[in-house]
Chains A and B, each alone.
Chain A
Amino acid sequence: MFGMPAASFWWFLSWPVIWAVLAILVYIKMTREERSEEGE
């Protein structure tokens, strides 16, 4: 784990992945909302 204690690794280095997944989910959610608002 890059020479780090496990706690530091998971608390700090996993976040970029979490944020990237969240960004994709937000994109999908907003696209669905737009479709529903446009009445498709």
Chain B
Amino acid sequence: MIEKIVFIVYLAGMLFIGYYFSRRDETLEDYLLGGRTIGPAVTALTMQSTSMSGYMFMGGPALTFKSGWFGFWYATGDVGGGLVNLAILGKRMRRLSQILGALTPIEYLEKRYECKAITIIGSLISIVFLSCYVIGQFIASGKTLETLTGWPFAVSLLIGVGVIIGYTVSGGYLAVCWTDFFQGIIMVLGMFGILIMGLSRVGGLTGLNNALGKMDPTYLSLWGKGLEYNNQWGVALGALLIYAIGYMGLPHVVVRHMSMKSPKTAKVAAVYSTIWNILFVYSPYVLGLIGIALLPNLKDPEMVVPALAHEVFPGIFSALLLTAIMAAIMSTADSLLMQAGSILARDVYQRFFRPNASQKQMVFVSRLLVFAVGVFGIILAVLQPPTVFGIVVFAFGTLGDSFIVPYIAAVYYEKANKVGALAAMISGAITNIIWTAGALDRTTAIHPFLAGLIVSAVFFVIFNRFGRDPSQEIKDAVRRAMGVRIPKGVESGISAMMAPEAKAVARFLREEGVTA
């Protein structure tokens, strides 16, 4: 009963915050980017709570539950994901997006690379894989509610999806960022609290490892239970990199750079993100390990955290964890849906079908997509539900492999052109899809994300040679985004060279009586 009361209070609070901030949306820039007014604390927490989805409470713990410490390859990279993203892209993307007047991450790529095809292909990849990603969140919400309330999965799924959709369509970007901010705080407090409780049950980290070592010493190894991935460094590196650098390719995450108050916001946000990640990211993976010790007969590994909450920490702690899980799911799902909807409305509907579309019409199109994804997600989840881990890693990897190279090249290489960017996007996506579908990581010992990233980078280098250089206007914009200044020595040299002419001009003006 207490779970339901806490959950209802939490939902009411989030709806109120969403409603309060949605009233501030006056222009399209307000609706899509919060008027570019987001400060460092909110930028950091909206970025991190959006990045950490239901995966963190289902997929990550399931991995350590099945494989032991091997799952920490994913966690170690994830801790630095926000820092890497903000340090590499933050400041430059903020500047360039404003110089180009771009309001969505796809519009940004189109304007940077001066190419309409990028919008078509980028929108297609984004909408399809952001939707896959959000379906993973729907399934996570259904599974969580099923465990903690005892309702059948289909009923739990309907309620979970209904809550997510209703809550998302109630506000714009600013509302999403501020609710994410509070959800980020709930997530870290809830998770950290449960971790301390869990560790105290198993005699701390040392007690936990001793227990695991007695059950099967390979749980403690770098290579998984039964040394499943023994010395497969390609798999380990891919697992480390997917969340360390992968966020730079996610449209719903990089849009946070575009909405920052100023380029200076990035440095403080990077520090806040790292602190938050250090406190949060390891916890669910450790809970997966605790599950091995306390719930060895659990049937569905993805249910290890909800099951721990339900069976080991009943009452207020269970309610706290339920709220934290739903906060993780909702803070990611609302951003995914908001981004997919914005891309469909702004980059597809307004760009190609109705250039004079009003904001009201665009919001309607955006909500139509949210509804369609919801219906499709429910059908898929009921008929043949994929694992949260599988669908999230697949969607995440495909988005990352498509967009990382074009986003980084956009602000670090002024000669990056549309042919190189298109080749990188298409080859990265296709490689990840083929690698995952064919389970090629088993035969090649290379993670699908790493394979896609390598292919995307190589294709960019090769095909960029065949394209024309961007216009001078774009090159100048990229240089301004880089913050390139004329070196001080050159400035003083120019001043010395121009001095005689400046004096002559001043003398002429005095003689003509133009100046005093």
Contacts and interface: CB of A to CB of B under 8 A. Distances in A.
A8 B69 CA distance: 8
Contacts of B208: 3
A15 B79 contact: yes
Contacts of B210: 3
Contact of B80 (A22, A27, A34, A36): A22
B277 interface: yes
B264 interface: yes
A5 B72 CA distance: 14
Contacts of B267: 26-27, 30-31, 34
B209 A2 contact: yes
Contacts of A15: 76, 79-80
A19 to B, nearest CB: 4
A12 B67 CA distance: 15
Given A8-B69, A12-B69, A19 B80 contact: yes
Q: Looking at A5, A11, A26, which has the most chain B CB atoms within 10 Å of its CB?
A: A26
Given A26-B267, A27-B270, A8 B83 contact: no
Contact of A8 (B220, B264, B277, B278): B220
A39 B487 CA distance: 10
Interface in A1-40: 2-5, 7-8, 11-12, 15-16, 18-20, 22-24, 26-27, 30-31, 33-34, 36-37, 39
Q: Looking at B274, B275, B277, which has the most chain A CB atoms within 10 Å of its CB?
A: B274
Main secondary structure of the interface of B (DSSP, over half): helix
Given A12-B72, A22-B83, A30-B267, A3 B277 contact: no
Interface in B59-112: 69, 72, 75-76, 79-80, 83, 86-87, 91
A22 B81 CA distance: 12
A4 to B, nearest CB: 5
Contacts of A16: 79, 278, 282
B83 A19 contact: yes
B356 interface: no
B483 interface: yes
A20 B91 CA distance: 20
B222 A8 contact: yes
A39 B222 contact: no
Interface string B180-213: 0000000000000000000000000111111001
Contacts of B213: 3
B209 A20 contact: no
B120 interface: no
Contacts of B75: 12
A30 B209 contact: no
Nearest to B274: A23
B28 interface: no
A36 B206 CA distance: 48
B221 interface: yes
Given A16-B282, A27-B267, A8 B221 contact: yes
B278 A30 contact: no
Contacts of B264: 34
Nearest to B263: A34
Interface string B257-271: 000000010111011
Contacts of A8: 69, 220-222
B69 A4 contact: yes
Nearest to A17: B278
B360 interface: no
A23 B80 CA distance: 9
Contacts of A18: 80
A20 to B, nearest CB: 6
A36 B208 CA distance: 50
Contacts of B69: 4, 8, 12
B299 interface: no
B503 interface: no
23 contacts: A3-B205, A8-B220, A8-B222, A11-B72, A12-B69, A12-B75, A15-B79, A16-B79, A18-B80, A19-B79, A19-B80, A19-B278, A20-B275, A20-B278, A22-B80, A22-B274, A26-B83, A26-B270, A27-B271, A33-B483, A34-B267, A37-B485, A39-B485
Task: Pick the 6 closest A-B CB pairs, nearest first.
Answer: A3-B209, A30-B267, A23-B274, A15-B76, A12-B72, A19-B80
Given A4-B209, A19-B274, A22-B80, 11 more contacts: A3-B206, A3-B213, A8-B222, A19-B277, A23-B275, A27-B267, A30-B87, A30-B270, A31-B267, A37-B483, A37-B485
